[in-house]
């Protein structure tokens, strides 16, 4: 009898815990909510991703590239946010500003996928070019609190400028998001 009561208690507590997590996740990703996000990026490429709206540091052959930025989004429907991002990048003394416009959808309120257009401007860095990338990103949202998520994932940046670079860039990212 004690085993049956213990099993029933564990089942009720487990169900309550799962329901609370789903409720917290659902409210954080519901229509009308806001998202503020900072990402770290670890990528490949000659000088990393030169239009980054996150935190990054890349160094190769005495050339150092660092970036600082953030993103924000508004949920236009449950699990779907429209996002914008801004960033500052320093490429071994030459600076550029970057921007991002896209959408992020949370599949089953746990698996974020994102599509966006990212660009950069900076006369000292790019000359006459205005580099653009189409970004594709997917990952997992781990809600450590009702309104805080850690989102590791993979991102691929497809270059839209053959004159600037025709290489795509694959990155491993860890995002930190606040949901309001």
What's the count of helices (H) and strands (E) in the chain, helices before strands?
A: 2, 10
For the record, the structure tokens of 50 come out as: 């030169």
Q: Tell the burial category of 122 from Cβ atoms under 10 Å away from its Cβ (0-12, 13-18, 19+).
A: buried
Is the domain 2-179 a CATH 2.40.160.20 member? yes
Instruction: Measure Cα distances from 46 to 55, 67, 124 in Å.
Output: 18, 15, 17
pTM of the model: 0.78
Report domain extents, the chain.
2-179
What are the tens digits of pLDDT across the range 151-180? Answer: 999 999 898 887 666 678 888 999 999 999
Instruction: Report the pLDDT value the prediction gives residue 49, as an integer from 0 to 100.
Output: 55
| For residues 28-46, average pLDDT | 83
What are the tens digits of pLDDT across the range 122-149? Answer: 766 666 677 888 999 999 999 999 999 9
Inter-residue contact 140 to 55 (CB < 8 Å)? no
Task: State the average pLDDT for the chain.
Answer: 81
Number of alpha carbons in the 13 Å side-chain half-sphere of residue 118: 31
What are the tens digits of pLDDT across the range 89-111? Answer: 888 778 888 999 999 999 999 99
| For residues 16-32, average pLDDT | 63
Percent of the chain with pLDDT over 90: 46
Instruction: Report the pLDDT value the prediction gives residue 12, as an integer from 0 to 100.
Output: 45
User: Which runs of E-coded beta strand occur in 15-109?
Assistant: 34-43, 56-60, 63-77, 80-91, 94-107
pLDDT at 61 over 50: yes
pLDDT at 44 over 80: no
Instruction: Report the pLDDT value the prediction gives residue 5, as an integer from 0 to 100.
Output: 44
Confidence class of residue 121 from pLDDT cuts 50, 70 and 90?
confident
């Amino acid at each position: 009898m004690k085993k049956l009561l213990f099993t029933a208690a564990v089942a009720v507590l487990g169900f309550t815990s799962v329901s609370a997590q789903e409720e917290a996740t659902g409210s954080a990703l519901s229509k009308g909510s806001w998202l503020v996000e900072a990402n770290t990026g670890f990528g490949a490429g000659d000088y990393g991703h030169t239009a980054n709206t996150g935190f990054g540091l890349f160094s190769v052959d005495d050339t150092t590239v660092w970036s600082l930025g953030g993103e924000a989004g508004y949920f236009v429907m449950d699990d779907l946010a429209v996002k914008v991002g801004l960033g500052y990048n320093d490429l071994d003394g030459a600076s550029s500003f970057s921007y991002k416009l896209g959408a992020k959808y949370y599949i089953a309120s746990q698996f974020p996928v994102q599509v966006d257009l990212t660009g950069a401007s900076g006369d000292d860095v790019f000359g006459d070019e205005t580099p653009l990338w189409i970004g594709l990103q997917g990952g997992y949202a781990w809600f450590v609190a009702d309104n805080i998520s850690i989102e590791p994932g993979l991102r691929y940046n497809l270059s839209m400028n053959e004159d600037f670079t025709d290489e795509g860039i694959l990155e491993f990212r860890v995002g930190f998001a606040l949901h309001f």
